[in-house]
Amino acid sequence: AQSVAQPEDQVNVAEGNPLTVKCTYSVSGNPYLFWYVQYPNRGLQFLLKYITGDNLVKGSYGFEAEFNKSQTSFHLKKPSALVSDSALYFCAVRAGGYQKVTFGTGTKLQVIP
C-alpha cells in the first residue's frame, strides 16, 4: 500500500518570505512523487515531479521540492512567496509498476500581503 501525509491543513506566510509545504510518503520500492496546485474553481495543475536523480527538483512558478529518502519526505519550497501563490497544494505518490496515484489531503497556502 502507498500513502501520502500532508501534516498541515493550512500554512500562512508573509509575502516575500520563504515558504515550505510539507509532505511525507510511504511506498514499497522507488517512489514517483508529484506536487500539484489547485486555484479556486479550477482543476489541479502539475507543478513538479521527482523520478530519480538530483534530490532538489525545480518546477513551475519558482517552486522547488527536496526529496529526502531517509526521511521519506518531499517538501515543497519557494524562496520568496507571492500573494498569487495562495492556493491549495497537493502532494502525490505513485509506486513503480503501479498505475494508481495516491494524493494527500491538501494544504491551503495563504500568503499575507
Nearer to another protein, 13 or 50 (CB): 50
DSSP state of 38: E
Task: Assess contact for 76 and 35: CB atoms under 8 A.
Answer: yes
- Considering only residues 7 through 66, tell me which ones interact with another protein, judged by CB under 8 A: 32, 34, 36, 41-46, 49, 51
User: How near is the Cβ of 69 to another protein at its closest, in Å?
Assistant: 17
Single-letter residue type at 58? K
| Number of residues counted as binding another protein (CB under 8 A) | 23
Cell reading at 46: 502539475
Report, in Å, the least distance between residue 32 CB and another protein: 5
Per CB under 8 A, 73 contacts another protein: no
